Amino acid sequence: MPSFDVNDLNSVDDMIIGHIFEELSRSDWNVLIAHFLGVDHCGHKYGPNHEEMARRLAFIDDLISNVTEILDEETVLIVMGDHGMTETGDHGGDTELETDAAIFIYSRKRLLFTAPPKSISQIDLVPTLSVLLDSPIPFSNVGVLVDCFIAPELLEWAKSSNAWQMVRYAQSVIVEMPQIEPLLRVFDSNSDNMTNQQETMRQIQAIFRASWTNFNMAFMRVGILSFVDTLLTTVNAFFSKRFSFSIVRMYQTNLDGDSMLLQCAHFHFIF
């Protein structure tokens, strides 16, 4: 599949280009998502400073320009990366180069009502986009509204919705995270002060963030030992010839109506 081949910089992007403008011209969607992979693959193969990267970025620039020309006044365009990359094109770590990514937001209508922050956390996009889409904020959201994008007449309602949603979720995990309970009491005591409430929400968010990087070493050791045990058992069975092997042939029809042969291997170990 092209999406798994980092040497293929064009196939997925070209397929999207082949459909996206037709989809944009239709009126049967509320949210349209396109995931371009060329820049990511180019980073893995060449790194961020290669001339091929400049070519891929120019391709995306032209695409954005063409899309903005046909957008109506009821549509917002959001272009964002899900991660950055190191000087060698890698990602997955916690360095600033890997965790920082650009975001571009465009609308024919006014969308910026106050000065934007210098940076936005990805999790804070969740309640913000929910409000912009007039959709409920997800129950387990721990993001805090980026209020510069919200019209003044909707701001108080949006902040209140975000606050009580986060409180409801925090209340549901008090047993597992008792350190949240004092902050919930502080939140209740500031029911008439939205600024203080948002500060408390940031503190609750910080507790959740910290919990995401706490790993249970005992469970990790058990997992590693289980993996090693399974691997050794498999190798032993293979070399002792105490296994059987069969292939099950199945046919699946793809979207074009063509039949594809799928071969599933089954191993049976005998002890």
pLDDT at position 214 is 77
Q: pLDDT band at 233, cuts 50/70/90?
A: confident
pLDDT at position 152 is 93
Q: pLDDT band at 202, cuts 50/70/90?
A: very high
Instruction: Determine contact, residues 184/170, Cβ cutoff 8 Å.
Output: yes
Q: Which pTM does this prediction carry?
A: 0.73
- Average pLDDT on 87-108 reads 89
pLDDT at position 82 is 87
What does the DSSP 8-state code read for residue 137? P
First to last CA, the chain: 38
Q: What is the dihedral of CA 160, 164, 170, 171, to 10 degrees?
A: 150
Pairwise CA distance, residues 130 & 145, whole Å: 10
Q: What is the pLDDT of residues 82-97, one digit of tens each?
A: 899 999 888 888 888 9
- Average pLDDT on 93-114 reads 90
Count how many Cα atoms sit within 13 Å of the Cα of residue 181 in the half-sphere of its side chain: 6
* Reduced 3-state DSSP string for 46-110: HCCCCHHHHHHHHHHHHHHHHHHHHCCCCCEEEEECCCCCCCCCCCCCCCHHHHCCCEEEEECCC
Where does 152-254 show beta strands of DSSP type E? 243-253
Pairwise CA distance, residues 112 & 120, whole Å: 14
pLDDT at position 270 is 45
- Average pLDDT on 44-59 reads 93
Q: pLDDT band at 126, cuts 50/70/90?
A: very high
pLDDT at position 254 is 45
